[in-house]
Structure 1
Amino acid sequence: MYTFKKEERLCNKRLIDGLFHNGSSFLCYPFKASWMLADGGQQFPAQIVFSVSKRRYKRAVDRNLVKRRMREAYRLHKQALLYDVLNNAGKKVVLSISYIGKEISPHEFVEKKMIRLLTQLAGEAIK
């Protein structure tokens, strides 16, 4: 339940390109989420990629810290806030979450905002 497996990560170049060209997006500071409904070829209700700007965070350790916090917050809340809603609606999505904040936020703040983002995404995906 509280896992984040390889199959949940978005690695397919074609899907990522399609996501950024044809997908919808919204802001939930400090995140920008891009998402798109997917075909039924995936095992999990959502496949996701996390990104942090190299221009804003020059040092890799800072980028990795932010991505680690984002992944952890997603892992803890995806089942209740996203997967259950998508499974009930019979939909699957591909998703990208980019960090656009100007400073490295503490874990509690990232977790609170991730909850808000997943709730908003679930609402938009089932429309």
Structure 2
Amino acid sequence: MYTFNKEERLCNKKLIDKLFHNGSSFLCYPFKASWLFIDEPGEFPTQILFSVSKRRYKRAVDRNLIKRRTREAYRLNKQQHLYNVLISLDKRIILSVGFIGKEIVEYDFMEKKMLKLLTQLCAEITK
């Protein structure tokens, strides 16, 4: 329930290209989310990709810190805010969450915004 397995990560280049060319996206500052329904069977209802701009954050230490905080906020809240909705709809999605903020923020703020992003994503999915 509160895990983040390798199978949940989006690594397939073809799926990533498909996501960015055909997917829908929305902004929930400091995150930008892109998502797309897929038909491929899998163990988990979502595969996700986290990204942080190398242009904005030159140091890898900063990029890794932001990705760690984002992954943790997602890991703790995905089950009740995203997976339950997707399982009830019997759908699977691929998702990209990019950090577009101008400064490194604290974890509490990031978790609050991740909750907002997940609820907004569920609203988009159920339309």
Distance 2:100 2:126 in 1: 26
Residue of structure 1 equivalent to 2:21 = 21
Distance 2:95 2:108 in 1: 22
Distance 2:92 2:37 in 1: 6
Distance 1:61 1:15 in 2: 28
Distance 2:92 2:12 in 1: 15
| Cα drift, residue 126 of structure 1 | 2.1
Residue of structure 2 equivalent to 1:104 = 104
Could you tell me which amino acid in structure 2 is paired with residue 117 of structure 1? L
Distance 2:99 2:13 in 1: 20
Q: Where do 5+ consecutive residues of structure 1 fail to align?
A: none
- SS of 1:80's equivalent in the other structure is helix
Residue of structure 2 equivalent to 1:43 = 43
- SS of 1:48's equivalent in the other structure is strand
- SS of 2:49's equivalent in the other structure is strand
Distance 1:38 1:76 in 2: 24
- Counting matched residue pairs gives 127
Matched, 1:6 2:6: yes
Distance 2:12 2:43 in 1: 14
Q: Where do 5+ consecutive residues of structure 2 fail to align?
A: none
TM-score, structure 2 length as denominator?
A: 0.98
Provide the identity percentage.
69
Distance 1:102 1:73 in 2: 19
CA RMSD of the aligned region, Å?
0.6
Could you tell me which amino acid in structure 2 is paired with residue 68 of structure 1? R
| Cα drift, residue 43 of structure 1 | 1.6
- SS of 2:17's equivalent in the other structure is helix
- SS of 2:91's equivalent in the other structure is coil
Verify the 8 A CA contact 1:86 1:126 in the aligned structure 2: no
